[in-house]
Amino acid sequence: MKYIVVTILALLFTSPVQAENVWFKSKIKMFYPNPNGTLVLLFTGDSTQCTSVGKYHHLLAGQAGVTQEAFNNMYSLALTAATTGKEISVNFDTSSSNCYINRMFVDFSG
């Protein structure tokens, strides 16, 4: 009986897995849009926190809080970073194997 009570208490106080957003910085190796509206980015560096097969990071309106307007802006920023060879910093959700991006920036000063 004692073990049942301990198990029930442990289950009550265990929090569910929450989405964790992490930052990653690298140059873009490959950039391609899919017909379903997803922009897929593959970087020259390897993000150990992205569990996607091939380490693909995805950008999609409606995922990770991204609106269509934000998607369009980030698409432009990613394309600019890729064509100029600049590193891009992306913030993505580690709770999904799609590594959905929800923010990004490029520092053009360096």
Query: What percent of the chain clears pLDDT 70, i.e. is strictly above it?
Result: 82
Residue 110 lies in a domain: no
**Residue 9 pLDDT exceeds 70:** no
Residues 2-16, mean pLDDT to the nearest whole number: 44
What does the CA dihedral 101, 84, 37, 89 come to, rounded to 10 degrees? Answer: 0
User: Which domain covers residue 73, as residue numbers?
Assistant: 20-105
Residue 11 lies in a domain: no
Instruction: Please count the structural domains in the chain.
Output: 1
Residue 86 lies in a domain: yes
Residue 2 lies in a domain: no
| Alpha carbon distances (Å) from 94 to 70, 79, 81, 90, 110 | 20, 23, 23, 12, 28
Quick one: pLDDT at residue 52? Answer: 87
Q: Tell me: the pLDDT tens digits for 22-35?
A: 999 999 999 999 99
Residue 3 lies in a domain: no
Residue 83 lies in a domain: yes
State how far the Cα of 86 lies from the Cα of 110, in Å rounded to an integer: 9
Q: Tell me: the pLDDT tens digits for 68-82?
A: 999 999 999 999 999
Residue 14 lies in a domain: no
Residue 40 lies in a domain: yes
- Output the pTM of the full model: 0.79
For position 59, which CATH number holds? 2.40.50.110
Quick one: pLDDT at residue 14? Answer: 42
